[in-house]
Amino acid sequence: MPIFTRHIPVLTALALAACALGGCSTVNQKVSAGMADYIPAWAGGLPADAPPRAGTPEYDKFMQERERKRLMPAAERGDDTSKPSTPASAPQNAAH
């Protein structure tokens, strides 16, 4: 009896367990969407400054604040978008 025949049932059981666990996240949309929030940013999850999910009260507040800032003049917003930026390829001190 070859050595690999003893491992076939174990490998089959592991493959079935992997498929079953992989299918668990697709059973319920709310569970799979919620689990994505708990993946750390370093592992490919959402960054800390990502906006809240649509349909939540936090998202409605976020959109109201965004609209309020959009209607304000640029000088009063207080963010860094009003500052002119220098292109990286432009020479800073061109002394000939």
Domain boundaries, the chain: 28-74
Give me the mean pLDDT over the 59-76 stretch: 89
Q: How many CA atoms lie within 13 A of 39 on its CB side?
A: 11
pTM of the model as a whole: 0.43
Helices (H) and strands (E) in the chain, counts: 4, 0
Query: What's the rounded Cα separation, in Å, for the pair 27 and 35?
Result: 13
The yes-or-no verdict on residue 80 having pLDDT over 70 is no
**Which residue has tokens 């963010």?**
79
Provide the pLDDT confidence category of residue 62 given band limits of 50, 70 and 90: very high
pLDDT for 82 equals 45
Q: Residues 37-51: what's their mean pLDDT? A: 80
Measured in degrees and rounded to the nearest 5, phi and psi for residue 2 equal -65, 155
3-state helix, strand, coil in the chain (%, to 5): 55, 0, 45
The conformation of residue 83, written as its DSSP 8-state character, comes to S
CA-CA distance, 63 to 51, in Å (whole number)? 9
Q: How confident is the model at residue 65 (pLDDT cuts 50, 70, 90)?
A: very high
Share of the chain above pLDDT 90, in %: 11
